[in-house]
Amino acid sequence: MDPILDKILEEQKTQRTERNALLTELQQCRVKNLTMPNPSRRTKVKKSMARIKLVLHERSDIYKSNQAKKAAEQ
């Protein structure tokens, strides 16, 4: 596989892992009838994930464009 594509996929995996960890913590707090320890963290993580997602889409688009150019040249 292409190293750039590997990097994109790894970043997506990291994003899912962080989101899942946060949701697990939220669910555990709900089950125990507790408030989440740092509720602003959820908002910060949501914003960060949105920014990461934007960058990943941009990189993916550039990667696909470059692959198409290479294919057209051959």
pLDDT value, residue 43: 86
pLDDT value, residue 31: 95
pLDDT band at 8 (very low <50, low <70, confident <90, very high): confident
pLDDT in tens, 12-56: 788 788 888 888 999 999 999 998 888 888 888 888 888 888 888
Domain spans, the chain: 3-73
Cα 49 to Cα 5, 9, 12, 18, 40, distances in angstroms = 19, 14, 10, 9, 14
Cα 21 to Cα 6, 15, 16, 40, 45, distances in angstroms = 23, 10, 9, 15, 11
